[in-house]
């Protein structure tokens, strides 16, 4: 899929040559000058006429009509050089790749020298290449394939470029794995189906995996996960996947993903508008499984424990009800005030299991609350933590990935509210005020002293419109942040 060559940019045969163009003086940009020379100065005239732009985000296509080995040159406007960071670069490359794909071309060649020689930027090329042109599966009988771009060539003489791009490709492919899962309808993605998908990832990368079925989940005492499953005809699954990057298995980082394959709200039933789209309530599970897919390709030197508690949340004569009291795996009792606050119940047992397995640090990812959407919108993931140093590491990875997170308060005043039940240890839904924070605090009751970061992706798991790095719909958010967090461990 990817090839790195050290040729003169004017001597590369390709259907699509991508060249970066800054707002700074074109005389200082050697690739532009070389192309302008072989095209007899016509580029300068096209710039004057406004047919070639250097403003950030503008992509200008020029046909060479046989005057150069490249059939078409796509000039990618980069704006001011000192304003171009990795996130902006990733997005503009995505826009350029989308343009090449829409022109129904199968290959693109990137003149890296015209953009940068920074290997971090090279990694972003790989991410943008596979993410930007990804197509979600649909079930139209006359579905048309619009995916053409498949081959990437990079012109560079720098060492390490190919490896960096391959890391980016792995991160992007992991993101697309998560997008695929979130896009699947609830009738085609049950807990059993999700477990089978996880097995495929594990087998592909030689990871250890164990799928706990209902009887084993009962033996483990996961009363909170089982309560959510009570109303369903579909049995629950608890997915345990291990990636061993060190010589010995010890002190793994635990990645925990909420795997509610469809959420009706249970007897606290969602309204007719709110229930649409609830196939995405396993977005946290998709993120951690996508991260494992990327980790399996990149092979960092870290041990990772991936945990997914999975079921749907349905209504029947057996379903759990408001006022029920359940016993979690930890032994803590929980008063159910709201059956639509089910994700935190499943996560409670999962993080308890993570601690029992000796996790050194925990990150949980979940489409947990509508409150985080009200607070932070659809481009910022809400985060909570009990450990500032661990949060800083996750935050740094999110910055590298261009996936924005914002820390919410994890304060005693909120912790006390989830302990307000008059009949049990904990209350799963103390009220609407600050409920994104209260939901995180509830999960925090089960992590103990283990460094922990909670990521609420309810707002960021889906995009309402097409964007530079992908289609409308599932975003695969946090896959790259999770993988980068693991990659950054020393």
Q: Which active-site residues does the annotation give? A: 270, 344
Specify whether the CB–CB gap between 91 and 469 falls below 8 A: yes
- Tracing tokens 């499943």 back to the chain, one arrives at 346
Measured in degrees and rounded to the nearest 5, phi and psi for residue 222 equal -80, 70
Cα distance between residue 344 and residue 338, in whole Å: 11
What H or E segment, with its residue span, contains residue 435? helix 435-444
Cα distance between residue 480 and residue 303, in whole Å: 17
Cα distance between residue 448 and residue 442, in whole Å: 12
> Distances in Å between the alpha carbon of 49 and those of 53, 75, 235?
10, 15, 65
In a 3-state reduction of DSSP, which class is residue 125? helix
Specify whether the CB–CB gap between 263 and 281 falls below 8 A: yes
> How is residue 70 annotated by DSSP?
B
> Distances in Å between the alpha carbon of 459 and those of 33, 344, 367, 463, 475?
45, 17, 8, 9, 11
Pairing mode of beta strands 303-313, 462-463: unpaired
In a 3-state reduction of DSSP, which class is residue 318? coil
> How is residue 10 annotated by DSSP?
G
- Tracing tokens 């979130």 back to the chain, one arrives at 182
Contacts 24+ apart (CB under 8 A), 198-205: 198/239, 198/241, 198/289, 198/292, 198/306, 198/308, 201/177, 201/241, 201/289, 201/292, 201/293, 201/296, 202/241, 202/292, 204/293, 204/296, 205/243, 205/292, 205/293, 205/295, 205/296, 205/297
Cα distance between residue 360 and residue 378, in whole Å: 31
Specify whether the CB–CB gap between 452 and 386 falls below 8 A: yes
Q: What is the token pair recorded at 266?
A: 């249970």
In a 3-state reduction of DSSP, which class is residue 297? helix
Cross-strand bridge partners of residue 153: 3, 109
């Amino acid at each position: 899929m990817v090839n790195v060559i050290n040729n003169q940019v004017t001597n590369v045969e390709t259907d699509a040559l991508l060249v970066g163009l800054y707002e700074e003086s074109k005389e200082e940009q050697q690739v532009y000058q070389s192309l302008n020379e072989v095209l007899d100065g016509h580029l300068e005239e096209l710039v004057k006429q406004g047919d070639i732009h250097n403003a950030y985000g503008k992509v200008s296509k020029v046909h060479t009509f046989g005057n150069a080995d490249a059939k078409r040159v796509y000039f990618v406007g980069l704006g001011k050089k000192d304003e171009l960071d990795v996130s902006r670069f990733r997005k503009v490359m995505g826009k350029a790749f989308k343009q090449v794909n829409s022109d129904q071309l199968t290959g693109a060649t990137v003149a890296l020298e015209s953009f940068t020689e920074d290997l971090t930027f090279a990694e972003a090329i790989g991410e943008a290449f596979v993410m930007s042109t990804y197509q979600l599966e649909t079930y139209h009988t006359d579905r048309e394939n619009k995916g053409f771009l498949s081959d990437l060539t990079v012109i560079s003489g720098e060492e390490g470029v190919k490896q960096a791009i391959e890391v980016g490709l792995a991160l992007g492919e992991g993101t697309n794995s998560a997008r695929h899962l979130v896009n699947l309808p609830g009738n085609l993605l049950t807990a059993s189906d999700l477990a089978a998908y996880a097995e495929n990832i594990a087998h592909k990368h030689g990871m250890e995996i164990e799928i706990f079925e209902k009887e084993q989940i009962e033996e483990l005492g996961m009363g909170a996960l089982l309560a959510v499953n009570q109303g369903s005809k579909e049995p629950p699954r608890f997915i345990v996947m291990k990636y061993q990057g060190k010589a010995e298995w010890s002190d793994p980082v635990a990645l925990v993903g909420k795997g509610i394959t469809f959420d009706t709200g249970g007897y606290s039933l969602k309204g007719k508008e709110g229930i649409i789209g609830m196939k995405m309530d396993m977005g946290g599970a998709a993120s951690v499984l996508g991260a494992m897919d990327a980790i399996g390709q990149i092979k960092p030197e870290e041990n990772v424990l991936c945990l997914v508690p999975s079921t749907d949340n349905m209504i029947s004569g057996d379903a759990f009800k408001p006022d029920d009291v359940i016993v979690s795996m930890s032994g803590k009792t929980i008063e159910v005030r709201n059956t639509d606050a089910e994700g935190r119940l499943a996560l409670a047992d999962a993080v308890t299991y993570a601690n029992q397995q000796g996790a050194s640090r925990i990150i949980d990812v979940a489409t947990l609350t509508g409150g985080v959407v009200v607070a932070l919108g659809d481009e910022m993931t809400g985060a909570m933590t009990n450990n500032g140093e661990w949060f800083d590491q996750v935050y740094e990875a999110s910055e590298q990935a261009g996936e924005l997170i914002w820390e919410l308060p994890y304060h005693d005043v909120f912790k006390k509210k989830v302990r307000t039940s008059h009949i049990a240890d904990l209350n799963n839904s103390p009220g609407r005020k600050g409920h994104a924070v209260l939901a995180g605090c509830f999960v925090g009751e089960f992590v103990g002293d283990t460094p922990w970061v909670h990521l609420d992706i309810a707002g960021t798991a889906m995009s309402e419109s097409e964007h530079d790095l992908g289609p409308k719909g599932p975003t695969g958010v946090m896959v790259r942040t999770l993988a980068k967090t693991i990659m950054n461990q020393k």
